[in-house]
Amino acid sequence: MYLLKNVVVPISMKIDLKYQMSKKLKLPLNSINNFKVIQRSIDARKKNNLKFNYTILTELPSKYLKNPDVLEYKYPEPYIQTHRKLSSKNPFIIGAGPAGLFAALALVEKGFQSYIFERGDKIEDRIKRVSDFWQKGILDEESNVQFGEGGAGTFSDGKLTSRKSDYYTNQVTKYLIQFGADQKISYEALPHLGTDTIRDIVLNIRKYLEEKGCKFFWRNKLENLNIENDKITSVRINGKEYKPEIIILAIGNSARDTFEMLSQKTEMESKPFAVGFRIEHSQDFINEAFYGEKTDFTITGPASYRLTAQDGKKGIYSFCMCPGGFVIPASSEKDGLVLNGMSFLKRDNKFANAAIVVTVNEVDFGQGILAGMKFQRKIEKKCFQSDHPYVAPAQKGLDFMNNNTNDSLSETSYKPGIIFKDLNNILPSNIIKALITGLNSFEKRISGFANKGILLAPETRTSSPVRILRDKVTFESATISNLYPIGEGSGYAGGIMSSAADGFKVGSVFAYKP
């Protein structure tokens, strides 16, 4: 089989891939019998003249192999070897986000019946807790946008982008489709699920795992590890002692109390991440700015973007762009404010938002394993206003860039409300400088991007501020032989897809031998 790249079809044209393949290769139509779309992206380099660009898996006669757009294709193969045989059918998984759930899926197919402990609620109850927070300002610190079944990605746009495409990411895609995702996530270049679809998929995964004998423990928080001779001998969860054979640690990037406990137990390090603001525009502006006003958006869907800039050694970039979405409060600690973006599958809200963030490292947040975490918390507390709980500090983009204290604000999707605050005083001066540099760059490329945007603060939870060190082959903790750190919270992933794939890989390490 071969990959045929750059099969281009204008979005206004009826899609006949067989004809387009024939035309591109000057190949008789009747010789094309077996083909499959591997990827479809939108080429928006020319506004109002958008095109679909397909990569197609097909059989081809050997004489066409000299074409530069024809590449030999090898099906991805599993490369994780079984490194450990377990005598217990009940490995412990801490966390029911993408990493934990997909570790459980890999294990259940090998005959294991995992015990999955989640500090938050199951999805049905979690939705109620989050609704109470958004509508009434009642924050449950154990069950919220960050904690609970499905992880933080449950209340997001549900992007499935990944820098890597291999056997394990393919397995994740297959499972997502099996449990309710649309088949098109297997070939769209920028696939997404939306928060509504994620919730259904998570529920279906749980039901499947329970049918296979797995057990879930809700509102059960890991409190301590007892370690002897570099091995966990027992754990305390909700005051109860257990003696698991292994623990797969799938905590999210906001599990700060767990980070504090682990920093005394195993080898960890701080790691770079990014901080900044959310920027929001009308979706109509984004559509016209990136795709053109004559584009048929019923075909393309709402426009999205990915922007990058540089200020010396500081990278500035857009992150977690949510077309037709909402800016949401995503706090997990009282007296602290965190923002995130969320979209439903249809992406049909009138606003678009994205994080505009700057990379930070030890130069910014200082030395120490938990220095980055403390840096995040300091920003979040600074943005929280006790007289306006969870109301977001906001400023028009151009006013922020010009250090203008004009307190006029435009409409946003953020439901708790916004209040004017000079955002130049929110973050350290070097990060503010980088953000202004980035916004100036984006404004030059997309006229009105800063001028028509409103900034809301803060965006701090872009990725984990720590990494729990592990062996590159066996995935064991560097210092504890039966602890397996996985996913975004442990510092090995950055989003739904990579977290799920990391969990599935680590779950593939084990075999059951009673």
Give the domain CATH number at 258: 3.50.50.60
**Among residues 72, 99, 115, which one ends one of the domains?**
72
Q: 496 phi and psi, to 5 degrees?
A: -60, -50
Q: Angle at which helices 167-178 and 98-108 pack, to 10 degrees?
A: 90
**Among residues 459, 475, 500, which one ends one of the domains?**
459
Give yes or no for a contact between 93 and 489, defined as CB atoms under 8 angstroms apart.
Answer: no
pLDDT number for residue 374 = 98
Would residue 475 count as lying in a domain?
yes
Q: What average pLDDT score do residues 6-16 get? A: 94
Q: What is the pLDDT of residues 458-495, one digit of tens each?
A: 999 999 999 999 999 999 999 999 999 999 999 999 99
Residues 96 and 198 in one domain: yes
What's the pTM value of the predicted model, to 2 decimals? 0.96
Would residue 326 count as lying in a domain?
yes
Q: Provide the 3-class DSSP secondary structure of residue 110.
A: coil
pLDDT number for residue 43 = 97
Residues 405 and 497 in one domain: no
Would residue 236 count as lying in a domain?
yes
Average pLDDT, the chain: 96
Give yes or no for a contact between 281 and 127, defined as CB atoms under 8 angstroms apart.
Answer: no
Nearest to 201 by CA among 183, 175, 167, 162: 175
Q: What is the pLDDT of residues 213-250, one digit of tens each?
A: 999 999 999 999 999 999 999 999 999 999 999 999 99
Residues 476 and 429 in one domain: no
Q: Which residues pair with 42 in a beta bridge?
A: 52
**Among residues 417, 436, 459, which one ends one of the domains?**
459
Residues 221 and 249 in one domain: yes
Would residue 322 count as lying in a domain?
yes
Residues 172 and 51 in one domain: no
Rounded (to 5) percent helix, strand, coil in the chain: 30, 25, 45
pLDDT number for residue 162 = 79
Q: Provide the 3-class DSSP secondary structure of residue 395.
A: strand
Residues 453 and 474 in one domain: no
pLDDT number for residue 154 = 97
Domain containing 57 — which CATH number?
Answer: 3.30.70.2700
Residues 295 and 408 in one domain: yes
Separation CA 405–CA 434 (nearest Å):
19
Number of domains in the chain: 3
Q: What average pLDDT score do residues 119-136 get? A: 97
**First-to-last CA distance in the chain?**
42
Q: What is the pLDDT of residues 291-302, one digit of tens each?
A: 999 999 999 999
Q: What is the pLDDT of residues 168-201, one digit of tens each?
A: 999 999 999 999 999 999 999 999 999 999 999 9
Domain that holds residue 23: 2-72
30 — pLDDT class (breaks 50, 70, 90) = confident
pLDDT score of 359 more than 80: yes
pLDDT score of 337 more than 80: yes
pLDDT number for residue 224 = 98
Nearest to 343 by CA among 182, 191, 194, 188: 194
